[in-house]
Amino acid sequence: MANVVIANDHGAVELAGIFVKHLQDRGYTVNHLGVTTNDSVDYPDMAKLACQEYKKGDYEFGVLLCGTGIGISISANKIEGIRCALPQNSFAAEMARKHNNVNFIAFGGRIEYSESPVKMLDAFIDSTFEGDRHQRRIDKIMALESHC
């Protein structure tokens, strides 16, 4: 059974809960690192928790949520080895896997998406990395960690 790690701040408690249930319904073992209350936490701390857990291994991907998805995705992308997408819709979510092969996908709990975030998450899950020229570009992304 595939594992997913998920973390959120207080701006996305409800959407995170919906995702946890949906991922479990799809057969994933979900490690939800919180939070489950509206008490304020700092999204960089939640990004760090989830990314450190992901890097232990055995996770297919991770999901991060904050009010907009912006702060938590920026935070995740500062962590070595992490590529976190913040998709606008299902097409972007699909491409995040097909072309960018991201290991994290982020959402905003306070965002009014043009389509269901669950549908967007499914578009990501149901896609496969296409490799080839996209791997070359990903290698260049990752090289930016040490060459800039």
Catalytic residues: 66, 99
Helices and strands in the chain: count of H runs, count of E runs: 6, 5
Query: Between residue 46 and residue 75, which ones bind ligand RB5 under the rule CB under 6 A?
Result: 66-68, 70-71
Q: Under the criterion CB under 6 A, does residue 9 sit at the interface with ligand RB5?
A: yes
- Measure Cα distances from 1 to 11, 59, 122, 125 in Å: 29, 10, 17, 14
Q: Pattern of binders to ligand RB5 over 73-112, x per CB under 6 A?
A: ----------------------------------------
Size of interface with ligand RB5, in residues (CB under 6 A)? 8
- In this structure, how many other beta carbons lie within 10 angstroms of the beta carbon of residue 11? 24
63 and 31 Cβ atoms separated by less than 8 Å: no
Between 92 and 142, whose beta carbon lies closer to ligand RB5?
A: 92
- Closest to ligand RB5 by CB, 18 vs 138, is 18
DSSP string, 64-129: EEESSSHHHHHHHHTSTT--EE--SSHHHHHHHHHTT--SEEEEETT---SS-HHHHHHHHHT---
Contact between 35 and ligand RB5 by CB under 6 A: the answer reads no
Nearer Cβ to ligand RB5, position 16 or 123?
16
Binding site for ligand RB5 (CB under 6 A): 9, 11, 43, 66-68, 70-71
